[in-house]
Structure 1
Amino acid sequence: MPLLPDTVDIWIAHIDDTAVLGVPNTSLDGILAPEERERRSRLRFGSDRKLFTMAHALLRMALARYAPVLPSAWTFTRGAYGKPALRADQMQMHRLYFSLSHAGTAVTCAVCHAADVGVDIEPLDNAVDPCELAASVLSPAEQASLSALENGARRQRFLALWTLKEAYVKARGLGLSFPLQDCSFSLDPPQIAFAGHVVDDPDDWQFDSQLVDNGHIIAAAAHLGSARPLRFRYRYSRDCQS
């Protein structure tokens, strides 16, 4: 299925999957670049190394579905705050924007032709305490929206807000340099507002937030530019062949 100009494809894989986009897990190592394998070797736990391998293989194989490039042949650069992007020559030829995230027992990547994108994933059983973190990552309006909720609903709403913020920051390529309290989200549908000193236009952004069937919440952000509106399409690795 081609990647349409108005679509953000969001690919999802789970650590228990035996293959990524039809490629057996035992064959994923050869898809990664030496630099990725070196980064993986610094991870302490085997589950983290497996998740890292699946995430980076998923990205490479997803990109290869939209351009005649071998998964192992993609080359990446990084922006000032670490945002990855295709190397200039590949970007000029194939015009693919992407973002990658992994947490808990799942990995995801977002791919789009039309706009800078960001994606973030968190497990619903994340051990974070919303009450402890709220003041450091949420705006006053967002904190107020949590106060009347019961524990389970409070956790889910906090994770929805947190992942949306992370997706936005990833799409902009700002990393930790952007204070998360300076943007504020309403939900259903997700929309962003900014503190007065932030130079950005809420109308330039489109967001999506979904619960997926492996117990995770995913948020995606797209900087629209001239492409509006966009459609977010969720695709599971286990349903696809190589």
Structure 2
Amino acid sequence: MPEQVEVWSAAATLPPGLDATALAALLAEDERARLAGFRFDADATAYLLAHALRRLVLARRLGCTPAELVFRTGPRGAVALDHPQAQGLQASLSRSRAGVAVALADAAVGVDLEAVEASRADFELLAPWLRWEAGPPTRGPAEFFRHWTALEAFWKAMGVGLAQDNPPLRCETAGEDILLRFATGEDALAGRARQLDAGPGAALAVATRGAAPPRVVHHRIADARGWQRLQRAPAGAADLPP
């Protein structure tokens, strides 16, 4: 389990003054091909920002250029970084029309960001995967997406993603965290998820395995200047954009 998790997030819209062409130039050929295939501009923008953000924060951490980074996709869709200096560094990515997010840690980590939409807030959708220690929480869109993002982020941290055959989890709230245990088997914590502020209309959770709570550092990119400072940041820089 990691001692510290870094989370970077931003709105999924291109802020005035940010050069989309320069961001697209950071991507690999297969990423640019995928970018060109989106039907809707909103989805293309979210994809561009999420994948550029992942390359920028990883390059800064590893002391390389964004173009040097190579990602491998596993049999169940998990993406791993192929870089000689990674040394166990893990990255998780999430995107939606509400925002984009990347989480970095020196152990398994997962992140999920969703738009909070009342029309999708159906607690029956959670029933196959979640059991509540003290009964279901107060129902409402915000609480639904708090649990949905926690669930998605946890299974990303497990390296498999959310799927129909995932075993159910027991969950309880502890302050700003949701604690997760497997519904069958030992009582030890399987992991925990923490909700972070992703702005109005969005829900953002970061999850780690095990019981120990990591220190979570959240960097929220608010405008084009934040993106530009990240693009210009020297490798290994200690100063971070706000």
Q: TM-score range by the shorter chain?
A: 0.7 to 0.9
Aligned 1:177-216 pairs, distance under 5 A: 177=163, 179=165, 182-187=168-173, 188=175, 189-197=177-185, 201-202=188-189, 205-216=191-202
Partner of 1:145: 136
Tell me if structure 2 keeps the 8 A contact 1:12–1:109.
Answer: yes
CA distance in 1 between counterparts of 2:145 and 2:101 reads 16
Amino acid aligned to 2:125: L
CA distance in 2 between counterparts of 1:144 and 1:232 reads 28
Length-normalised TM-score, structure 2: 0.80
Tell me if structure 2 keeps the 8 A contact 1:169–1:178.
Answer: no
Task: Tell me how far 1:214 sits from its aligned partner.
Answer: 3.7
Aligned to 2:61, what secondary structure does the other structure show?
coil
Query: Of residues 13, 18, 31 in structure 1, which corresponds to 2:15?
Result: 18
Unmatched tracts of structure 1, length 5 or more: none
Tell me if structure 2 keeps the 8 A contact 1:137–1:162.
Answer: no
Closer, same or farther in 2 for the Cα pair 1:68/1:131, shift >3 Å? closer
Aligned 1:1-242 pairs, distance under 5 A: 6-18=3-15, 24-87=19-82, 89-92=84-87, 95-113=88-106, 115-125=107-117, 127-139=119-131, 141=132, 144-146=135-137, 149=138, 153-177=139-163, 179=165, 182-187=168-173, 188=175, 189-197=177-185, 201-202=188-189, 205-223=191-209, 228-238=212-222, 240=226, 241=229, 242=231
Length-normalised TM-score, structure 1: 0.80
Task: Tell me how far 1:192 sits from its aligned partner.
Answer: 0.8
Aligned to 2:75, what secondary structure does the other structure show?
coil
CA distance in 2 between counterparts of 1:11 and 1:218 reads 11
Tell me if structure 1 keeps the 8 A contact 2:108–2:157.
Answer: yes
Closer, same or farther in 2 for the Cα pair 1:67/1:89, shift >3 Å? closer
Tell me if structure 1 keeps the 8 A contact 2:111–2:156.
Answer: yes
Question: Residue by residue, what CA displacement relative to the aligned partner does 1:29-53 show, whole Å, maximum 9, x if unpaired?
Answer: 1001011112223321111011101
CA distance in 1 between counterparts of 2:8 and 2:108 reads 16
Amino acid aligned to 2:145: L
Task: Tell me how far 1:134 sits from its aligned partner.
Answer: 3.6
Task: Tell me how far 1:89 sits from its aligned partner.
Answer: 3.0
Task: Tell me how far 1:87 sits from its aligned partner.
Answer: 1.1
Task: Tell me how far 1:137 sits from its aligned partner.
Answer: 4.1
Tell me if structure 1 keeps the 8 A contact 2:55–2:66.
Answer: yes
CA distance in 2 between counterparts of 1:200 and 1:106 reads 35
Question: Residue by residue, what CA displacement relative to the aligned partner does 1:37-76 show, whole Å, maximum 9, x if unpaired?
Answer: 1222332111101110100000000111212110121101
Unmatched tracts of structure 2, length 5 or more: 232-242
CA distance in 1 between counterparts of 2:81 and 2:136 reads 39
Closer, same or farther in 2 for the Cα pair 1:143/1:29, shift >3 Å? farther
Tell me if structure 2 keeps the 8 A contact 1:12–1:108.
Answer: yes
Task: Tell me how far 1:180 sits from its aligned partner.
Answer: 5.2
Amino acid aligned to 2:51: H
% identity of equivalent residues: 30
